[in-house]
A = this chain, B = another copy of it.
Amino acid sequence: MISDEVMARIREEMASYNGSGVSVLETAEGSPEYTEIVDGAEKLLRELMNIPQSYKILFLPGGADMQYSAIPMNLLSEHKCADYIISGQRSKAASLEAKKYGDIAVAASSAGASPAFSTVPETKRSDFRPDADYVHICFNNIVYGTKFHYIPDTGSIPLVADMSAFLLSEPIDVSRFSLIYANAECGIGAPGLTIVIVREDLISAAHKDYPSAMDYKLLINGENSAATAPVWSIYVAKLVFEWISSLGGLEEMKRRNERKASFIYDYLDNQSYYTAPVDKKCRSMMNVVFVTGDASLDKKFAKEASEAGFANVGGHGSVGGMCASIYNAMPAEGVEKLVEFMKKFALENPKLEA
């Protein structure tokens, strides 16, 4: 979802970027407009997230999934071992991809929770192998509606986090992580863009046998500019960064997102028609999951919600139920209308007593 303000700007500049007479879609690599967009986006992101200078920011093409391979390729050392915390299907997919390149262990998993992945695993430092090259977590789990309510203590082991659908929704202490990556498509709205924020000292050398497009060393040095995301995607991201900044930055985003999420969760906690299956302490502020307890009613809800203009409320096939994604761009009124719709649906579709 993209905010109305950002969308208006995109439409305006589609014909002529910043008075240049050339559309952003036609901006050539290396032109002054190109440099202004890429450098400007990086500077804004660094300010918004308070990213230390010792971290590099990469704007890469493709989905976050491409980093499932790039991360082990770049971070595994000679002895090749890393620990993964499994909190949903994305972290599982990341660990399976990493297994192609090294000795990957599951340090903790919430697969056994009831329902599965309705909470995130609690961990302590001793859960991790002391010689692990890194520990990987998925910070926000979209389809399960969970979020890490704590930052795992990995001691001196670098912590790597997939922050897709979480990045820029609230402040986060970047210095607690060695590498943060996020698909900028869902939460930020920039198509085809993955953001990687990586501690530079972690990347020591280019790798002889890895694809150049996945080699952080080449990417950081700008030796593989062809592997940079299209300027169009970076342009949309930059507009979103400016918009967040103009509203007051990540503290203000957090305040707004907490208010929106509370509005739905408060309703869910004070009725009995819907169930919110997620462990309260790790509820996601971005993705609110709820079920009616009846698969056919869930289906009916998703269909009618879609017809009423609530796009993509249906839960993911593998999990079922509903998942309301209330990203930064969703206004408070959108959430209020959704709760109204939920109330109306509950009244109109009484459940048969078991």
Binding site for B on A (CB under 8 A): 1-2, 7, 10-11, 14-15, 21-23, 25-26, 28, 31, 61-66, 68-70, 73, 97, 100-101, 185, 189, 191-192, 208-214, 224, 226-227, 229-233, 236, 309, 311-312
Closest to A209 in B: B100
CB of A311 to closest CB in B, whole Å: 6
CB of A187 to closest CB in B, whole Å: 13
The verdict on A192 contacting B15 (CB below 8 Å), with A2-B25, A230-B185 known, is no
Closest to A183 in B: B226
Would you give 24 A-B contacts (Cβ < 8 Å), ordered by A? A1-B26, A2-B23, A7-B15, A11-B15, A25-B191, A28-B312, A61-B63, A61-B192, A62-B66, A63-B226, A65-B212, A65-B224, A65-B226, A66-B213, A69-B211, A69-B213, A73-B211, A100-B210, A101-B209, A191-B192, A192-B229, A192-B233, A211-B214, A230-B233
A214 to B25, CA, bound (A): 26
Contact between B212 and A68, CB atoms less than 8 A apart? yes
A192 to B70, CA, bound (A): 19
Contact between A191 and B230, CB atoms less than 8 A apart? yes
Residues of chain B lying within 8 A (CB to CB) of residue A15: 7, 11
A62 to B309, CA, bound (A): 32
Contact between A192 and B192, CB atoms less than 8 A apart? yes
Contact between A69 and B212, CB atoms less than 8 A apart? yes
Closest to A21 in B: B309
Closest to A8 in B: B15
Closest to A1 in B: B26
Contact between B311 and A26, CB atoms less than 8 A apart? yes
The verdict on A14 contacting B10 (CB below 8 Å), with A61-B61, A62-B61, A230-B191 known, is yes
CB of A331 to closest CB in B, whole Å: 14
A238 to B98, CA, bound (A): 35
Listed residue (A2, A63, A227, A229) with the most chain B CB atoms within 10 angstroms of its CB: A63
Closest to A208 in B: B100
Contact between A211 and B312, CB atoms less than 8 A apart? no
CB of A35 to closest CB in B, whole Å: 14
A15 to B11, CA, bound (A): 8
CB of A294 to closest CB in B, whole Å: 23
Pick the residue among B25, B189, B227 that contacts A63 (CB under 8 A): B227
Residues of chain B lying within 8 A (CB to CB) of residue A62: 61-62, 66, 213, 227
Closest to A194 in B: B61
Contact between A233 and B66, CB atoms less than 8 A apart? no
A70 to B210, CA, bound (A): 11
CB of A320 to closest CB in B, whole Å: 15
Pick the residue among B7, B100, B211 that contacts A23 (CB under 8 A): B7
CB of A4 to closest CB in B, whole Å: 10
A164 to B79, CA, bound (A): 40
The verdict on A230 contacting B25 (CB below 8 Å), with A14-B7, A213-B69 known, is no
Listed residue (A26, A209, A214) with the most chain B CB atoms within 10 angstroms of its CB: A26
CB of A257 to closest CB in B, whole Å: 19
In the complex, besides A62-B62, A66-B227, 8 extra interface pairs with C-beta distance below 8 angstroms are: A7-B25, A11-B15, A26-B311, A31-B312, A62-B227, A63-B227, A68-B212, A191-B232
CB of A162 to closest CB in B, whole Å: 12
Contact between B214 and A65, CB atoms less than 8 A apart? no
